[in-house]
Structure 1
Amino acid sequence: MHLTVSLNIASMAGQTSALTFRDVAGFVRQAEAAGLDMIILEDSAPDAPASSSPFEATTLLAALATVTTRIGLVAAASTVAHQPYNLARRFASLDIISHGRAGWHATMAQASREAANFSRPDGFSNDDFRRRTEEYIGIVRGLWQGWDADALLFDKGGGRFHDPDKMHLLDHKGEFFSVRGPLNVARSPQDQPVLVLSVLSEADMDIAARTADVILLDGSAEDAKARHDDLKRRVAVCGREPDSVKVLLNVGVDTDVDRLDTSFRSEDCDGFNITMPPPALDDFVGRVLPEVRRRGLLRDGYRGTTLRSHLGLAGGGDQ
């Protein structure tokens, strides 16, 4: 069973007038000590009221990478607020800083008022946003593959910085973007950071099946099995191994162990993403996790050093 935690930075800031990096780092280190696969750093929910946060998620991820050693660190970053080249470069750099523990969380839903801050006061139609996001994700993933693992030579004596045969121009010209590539950052330690997708409509499912490493699903427990099986079928139709995509159910911290046990053993999911306020972590770690481990549902400790190794995903590092 994979277990992750979503940490909404803006919500944390609303609970205290002086949220500090030390507060956030303490929470994340506690989650790491508990052996959780990853923390997802959220800036806000798609249609949440405007709120203030002292941190931007990707900057916070970089700082947290210096005070942790194993837990995966996934940051939300908008496809509207960033150009795809800059975002791909940022996450490739974050993966290097964290020694292969970084991931990007993208949603398939527009955030209220966001486009107005980036020269699009009327936003996008739902169909335009979907097509734009799919193109955006394809560009980012393509840029992450712009250098082969052994492309950079740093051969000062021979005057060769890289092997040109192992550099791949993206040369993308699409409906919404034109990006030449490659990145001016080395290949990610994981080959590419982990891609997490959420807020999926029916029309988004095939996009997620083609591209995602982790899919976060909302919805009722009653139809979880059908949605899980449908996604795995779509993954296989795309020519990928079904287990190459992890499907996690979004649940609240008040979910009891019996429900997690039943849902996981029924193959409703590959694990759970738990949304919790930071004070709830003590109870979760002290009461829920020991029982989950006693039932043999959760590994003891980390088996590798990269986020892909925690999730059992193919890629670079120590899987």
Structure 2
Amino acid sequence: MDNGTTMHLAVSLFPGTADPTPGAEPEFDRLARFVQKAEAAGLDMVIFADSAPASGGDAANRQMPFEATTLLAALATVTSRIGLVAAASTVAHQPYNLARRFASLDIISHGRTGWNATMTQKPREAANFSRQEGFSSDDFRRRTEEYIGIVQGLWQGWDADALKFDKSGGRFHDPEKMHLLDHKGEFFSVRGPLNVARSPQDTPVLVLSGLSEADMEIAVRTADVILLDDGPTEGAKARYDDLKHRVAACGRDPGAVKLLMSVSLATDATAKPTVADSMEKGFRSKSCDGFNILLPAQLSALADFVDLVLPELRRRGLFRESYRGATLRSHLGLAGGGDQ
């Protein structure tokens, strides 16, 4: 794990990336160029939202134009280092299929994948998946916790050296190194295991967001990264200390969970260095382990951050000069990075 002397930086793309201009650059090409620029800048990861289907009006123009995990698979082929994190709904997907999908993505990307799971129930989403009435808040929380446990259990169903692929000996795997999940819970029943090998970085990174106070106990037990809303430095410091204490109380190393503060940058380019000061203050005061920068998927917005803010952060010794490894876990300084 890292020693916390430099901050971690992620970029989250706003919904509303569609460009309806006739003759505009194809959406995937524009997103690919965005992620490639973020990779050239050495950012830890890019996080892609996934929206519930639009219900009419202008809603379609406020959504990510692709299903997020499909987009991730394509972006993995045009990048080589940056972490790629996709939101995927616990309502729209069964846990076995979602676990299998992210395990496959992690192999395709050589260990650079993460799943952004939200604890917030999205309006209208359940109605598209045979749940017209949705879930009560308490049911949704318990269901999501069970869901996350299943996914993480399936990811750990194969030991690192379990798959032999021994054609001459007729052995696909070592039975002693395969672990059935055999889960029977309140909402799901899943036997396992996955038919996908263990991840190059041990397991994909779990990023949790949309957390209420009641959700934090789930987060400190399960998450690798927690995305937190921005707030006053004094309150943020107390929140950071409390969450790290809760992580330790669960028997985990406090460094095993990275707390990133989500911030929107000012649009005025002259204000971008006021930005570096604010980020430095928050990081040095131990209010967070880094930042999740909220941006529209436009190269100009990313360029402002990369060209004006990032050099200042590096000059102050707050952000690393280059990638230290090849996997997302290695970027984040998490155990199991596979190349540390």
Q: Take 1:285 and 1:251, find their aligned partners in 2: how far apart are those partners?
A: 15
Is the 8 Å Cα contact of residues 146 and 182 (structure 1) preserved in structure 2? yes
CA positional deviation for 1:82: 0.1
CA positional deviation for 1:50: 3.7
SS in structure 2 of the partner of residue 93 of structure 1: helix
Verify: 1:237 aligned to 2:249, yes or no: yes
Q: Take 1:137 and 1:293, find their aligned partners in 2: how far apart are those partners?
A: 36
Counterparts in 2 of 1:53 and 1:247: CA distance versus 1, 3 Å: closer
Which residue of the partner structure matches residue 57 of structure 1? 68
CA positional deviation for 1:7: 1.4
TM-score w.r.t. the length of structure 1 is: 0.96
Which residue of the partner structure matches residue 16 of structure 2? 11
Is the 8 Å Cα contact of residues 46 and 110 (structure 1) preserved in structure 2? no
Aligned residue runs from structure 1 range 106-185, under 5 A? 106-185=117-196
Among 312, 317, 320, the residue aligned to 1:291: 312
Aligned residue runs from structure 1 range 1-319, under 5 A? 1-8=7-14, 10-13=15-18, 18=24, 19-44=26-51, 50-51=59-60, 52-222=63-233, 223-254=235-266, 256-277=275-296, 278=298, 279-319=300-340
Aligned residues: 318
Q: Take 2:277 and 2:326, find their aligned partners in 1: how far apart are those partners?
A: 30
CA positional deviation for 1:154: 1.2
User: 1:306 is matched by which residue type in structure 2?
Assistant: T
How big is the alpha-carbon RMSD for the aligned residues of Structure 1 and Structure 2?
1.8
Q: Deviations over 1:250-309 (max 9, x none)?
A: 001227110000000000000000001223111111110010100000000100000000
Q: Deviations over 1:131-161 (max 9, x none)?
A: 0000000000000001000001111121111
Where does structure 1 lack aligned partners over 5 or more consecutive residues? Answer: none
Q: Take 1:236 and 1:47, find their aligned partners in 2: how far apart are those partners?
A: 41
Where does structure 2 lack aligned partners over 5 or more consecutive residues? Answer: 1-6, 267-271
Q: Take 1:169 and 1:46, find their aligned partners in 2: how far apart are those partners?
A: 35
SS in structure 1 of the partner of residue 17 of structure 2: helix
CA positional deviation for 1:46: 12
Counterparts in 2 of 1:208 and 1:45: CA distance versus 1, 3 Å: farther
Q: Take 1:282 and 1:161, find their aligned partners in 2: how far apart are those partners?
A: 48
Q: Take 1:53 and 1:263, find their aligned partners in 2: how far apart are those partners?
A: 30
SS in structure 1 of the partner of residue 10 of structure 2: strand
Is the 8 Å Cα contact of residues 220 and 246 (structure 2) preserved in structure 1? yes
User: 1:267 is matched by which residue type in structure 2?
Assistant: K
CA positional deviation for 1:317: 1.4
Runs of 4+ aligned structure 1 residues displaced above 4 Å come to: 14-19, 45-49
Q: Deviations over 1:188-209 (max 9, x none)?
A: 1111000000111111001000
- How high is the sequence identity, in percent, across the aligned residues? 75
Q: Take 1:16 and 1:217, find their aligned partners in 2: how far apart are those partners?
A: 34
SS in structure 1 of the partner of residue 16 of structure 2: helix
